């Protein structure tokens, strides 16, 4: 007679299977990550992107932009210190800073942490995302938006960079990936980087996030490195592992001043500057760690060396972490 033992799979007493809402992030057609969602805190659709703020068990609050983890409450400091602080420390006297993008306000927060900064300008095209961040993401911007030194312009970054007559000591590109149809792909071209250079002061430093720092998704970094090397004398790659991305992220440090090469700075010198310049202590970086992040594995340096194709307005690239790089 048919009986229960024919279907033996029920085990009783389990209290906590991974039931409920999950956020699924795909890194290719063959790799995905699932993050358990505790709560949906806020959601907004702007003309440029969709933003959702979730609470996860693993990383606290997480900002999801267009189905990609942007930053998390528990580890955003790793991304933002990495983007901001090396240039802020290596520059002899960073007084005027420009942020392209950076809507969460955490890039501004790290910049304003330096007592050398007199003026910071943030140019973000998406008014709605700024309002979203101001309202829901206090853990990110903290008091940054109330700091008199900060001006926020709701404007196309490309337009601003091409038109402004102001010069800056440090410029940060904290823009989304150059997605097809998205607003950012023209900001990843040789032409745009030339415009950026035009508004950089002598001794100025330009830093940009540069996509994933992992072998399977390294093509964007390679292409950006080649392109920036056609504009700046010194271009240095650096990496930081971001837990909520489940991967290493990459950055590029660009300057025309040979003296400002991060590979020539010692940890001790940088620790002294941190001590003098920064108001609150860093959590992820200090002198030794900055030495470390710029000394990337040979594998990646060889890939960078082998790639000489420059991104131009006529031959742009498109990139997402789930579809990789496409060249037009």
Catalytic residues: 174
Q: How far apart are CA 319 and CA 249, in angstroms?
A: 14
Place of tokens 């057609």: 29
CA torsion 232-237-238-244 (nearest 10°) is: 110
Name the token pair of 31: 């790799």
Which of 193/300 has CB closer to a second copy? 300
* Residue 86 C-beta: closest distance to a second copy, Å: 13
Is residue 58 within 8 Å of 257, Cβ to Cβ?
no
Comparing CB distances to a second copy, the nearer of 53 and 123 is 53
The least distance separating a second copy from the CB of residue 134, rounded to whole angstroms, comes to 22
C-alpha to C-alpha distance for 226 and 54, rounded to whole angstroms:
37
Written in H, E and C, the secondary structure of 173-233 is EECCCCCCCCCCHHHHCHHHHHHHHHCEEEEEEEEEEEEECCHHHCHHHHHHHHHHHCCCC
138 or 305: whose CB is closer to a second copy? 305
Element (H, E) at 81: helix 76-90
Residue nearer to a second copy on the CB measure, 151 or 216: 216
Q: How far is the CB of 169 from a second copy (least distance, A)?
A: 25
Is residue 294 classed as helix, strand or coil in its secondary structure? helix
**Among residues 159 and 326, whose Cβ is nearest to a second copy?**
326
CB 57 within 8 A of CB 128: no
* Phi-psi sector, 80: left (phi>0), alpha (psi -120 to 50), beta: alpha
Determine the length of the chain. Answer: 328
Task: Name, in order, each residue with C-beta under 8 angstroms of 89's C-beta and a sequence gap of 6 or more.
Answer: 265, 270, 273, 274, 277, 290
Give min distance, CB of 126 to a second copy, in A: 20
């Amino acid at each position: 007679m048919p009986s229960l033992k024919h279907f033996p799979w029920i085990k009783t007493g389990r209290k906590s299977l991974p039931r409920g809402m999950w956020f699924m992030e795909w890194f290719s057609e063959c790799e995905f990550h699932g993050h358990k969602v505790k709560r949906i805190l806020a959601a907004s659709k702007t003309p440029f992107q969709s933003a959702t703020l979730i609470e996860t068990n693993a990383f606290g609050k997480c900002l999801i932009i267009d189905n990609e983890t942007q930053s998390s409450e528990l580890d955003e400091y790793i991304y933002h210190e990495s983007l901001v602080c090396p240039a802020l420390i290596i520059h002899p006297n960073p007084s005027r800073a420009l942020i392209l993008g950076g809507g969460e306000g955490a890039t501004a927060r790290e910049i304003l942490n330096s007592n050398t900064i007199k003026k910071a300008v943030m140019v973000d095209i998406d008014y709605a995302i700024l309002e979203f961040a101001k309202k829901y993401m206090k853990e990110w911007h903290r008091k940054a938006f109330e700091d008199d030194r900060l001006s926020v312009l709701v404007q196309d970054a490309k337009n601003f960079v091409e038109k402004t007559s102001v010069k800056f000591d440090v410029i940060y590109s904290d823009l989304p990936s150059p997605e097809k149809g998205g607003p950012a792909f023209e900001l990843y071209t040789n032409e745009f980087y030339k415009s950026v250079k035009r508004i950089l002061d002598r001794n100025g430093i330009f830093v940009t996030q540069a996509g994933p720092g992992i072998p399977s998704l390294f093509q964007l970094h390679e292409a950006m490195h080649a392109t920036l090397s056609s504009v700046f004398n010194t271009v240095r790659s650096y990496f930081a592992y971001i837990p909520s991305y489940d991967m290493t992220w990459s950055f590029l440090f660009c300057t025309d001043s040979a003296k400002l090469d991060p590979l020539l700075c010692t940890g001790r010198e940088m620790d002294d500057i941190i001590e003098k310049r920064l108001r609150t202590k860093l959590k992820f970086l200090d002198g030794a760690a900055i030495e470390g992040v710029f000394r990337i594995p040979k594998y990646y340096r060889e890939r960078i060396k082998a790639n000489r194709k420059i991104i131009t307005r006529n031959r742009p690239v498109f990139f997402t972490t789930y579809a990789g790089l496409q060249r037009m």
